[in-house]
Structure 1
């Protein structure tokens, strides 16, 4: 480490000459992710030379989260670490030239094993951390999309409105089913108003799935009210033999349903 510190400037120059694809991105990576590649390179080198695996893994995990958070290109990270590996071995060779005697082959191979193992451990810990954090971000984004696509809006302590807009496919109807039943339980709902005024078309299979949701709502002791059925949807329901009135009250508009609910409560 003393030798590397004494030759810090030469080390950085050589590292940058090795990292051809990364050196032009150093300032951009610093700006986007607040990642100082050169400083972090010295930190990693110290962990490797001192064989400090515990702190190195922690550092790798932090780096993985940072690169995942800011969507920094993994190819740059891989190129950078491989450039660090090559540079480190070059300076090991230079260090050998400063000594009175050259290390024997056994010592060299032991050194090679220790150094390369630590580099590989760093890369493994980094990529696992990156992948895990990306998975968490994707899951959080999926949940956000689900919440936006199935918004359950409280009106009173016992009444909520579920306004459905756009197309309802198999995936979305499943989300609706899961969220409706959970919200009824969590909020102790007595009335759920399902507004379909934003639905222009609905397939017969989806209508039947919606009937199942209304059945589940009733089983949990919550009254269901369906509003805003469009003529086209009603005609398709008639042809398909689907009848919401047996499962829920129907109102022409959401405003009418809210007004009646407030009067009754």
Structure 2
């Protein structure tokens, strides 16, 4: 490989002056990523070759603050576009190998290749910087993904608590599926807010889609019913299945104080709507 060299060059100038050779060597070190460079540029507007040189210069020049900020930005971009972490890891390790190849060539051209003390000091310094980049990249990537999953879960949970107005003062809350500690908190938040916003006087909670609840969930649910009552709204439970009732009995929990229970949602709606019409 023909390299441009000036005896007065610093290592960073040597790398910049030999940019085409650096990129060629890098692509040969990262065979799997090389075939995806155009796709990644198109998908996430990420110029891998330009970013590789930026990482190398930050690492060599010991620009730690810039390197950490760059890693965090890269982590967010890769997470946002769901780009493969395996490609990123292969790419950074290829950058590491390519950088060391150029460091060796620079030392050879400057007659410093036999200076072992300098080599080991440089080895630790450079590798620590690249490891720090990887660490901050993965932390940023994971943090973004965790926040995204949390937001998506909140959206799904709110959509799974549909309070449906059926008249001017009567609403229905059909509950379906498993209710865990996270979802019961969402139910509490949305129910109390909607009662106030919609001025609900009667909330019919249909439990026909719930097979069972854990004791702590039943206890929390009872507190929600107490809260509904405190807001001046009447609670009506419908569709209680035998398994759920059995679980409630053995848990020693009763809803009789602040709630009315009825058989089916259809019959309950019929009664309340007929009363409102008359």
Alignment TM-score > 0.5, same fold:
yes
**How much has 1:247 moved relative to structure 2?**
2.8
* TM-score with structure 1 setting the length: 0.78
> For 1:3-57, what per-residue CA distance to the aligned partner results, in whole angstroms no more than 9, with x for missing partners?
1122111111110111122112222222222221111101111111221111111
C-alpha change, 1:8 and 1:233, in structure 2 (3 Å) is: same
1:167 maps to what in 2?
A: 177
Partner of residue 74 from structure 1, selected from 81, 85, 89: 85
**Is 2:150 the partner of 1:139?**
yes
**Is 2:131 the partner of 1:115?**
no
**How much has 1:140 moved relative to structure 2?**
0.7
C-alpha change, 1:162 and 1:77, in structure 2 (3 Å) is: farther
Matches within 5 A, 1:211-250: 211-218=222-229, 220-226=230-236, 229-230=238-239, 233=241, 247-248=258-259
SS in 1 for 2:83: coil
- Paired residues, what number? 258
Q: Aligned partners of 2:70, 2:275: CA distance in 1, in Å?
A: 61
C-alpha change, 1:78 and 1:159, in structure 2 (3 Å) is: farther
> For 1:44-95, what per-residue CA distance to the aligned partner results, in whole angstroms no more than 9, with x for missing partners?
1111122111111101000111111122111111111111000001011111
Partner of residue 189 from structure 2, selected from 179, 198, 212: 179
* TM-score with structure 2 setting the length: 0.75
Counterpart contact for 1:68–1:130, Cα < 8 Å: yes
Unaligned runs of 5+ in 1: none
1:191 maps to what in 2?
A: 201
C-alpha change, 1:176 and 1:110, in structure 2 (3 Å) is: closer
Unaligned runs of 5+ in 2: 1-11
SS in 2 for 1:151: coil
Q: Aligned partners of 1:44, 1:125: CA distance in 2, in Å?
A: 13
> For 1:165-202, what per-residue CA distance to the aligned partner results, in whole angstroms no more than 9, with x for missing partners?
43344457624553246526874955352342x83564
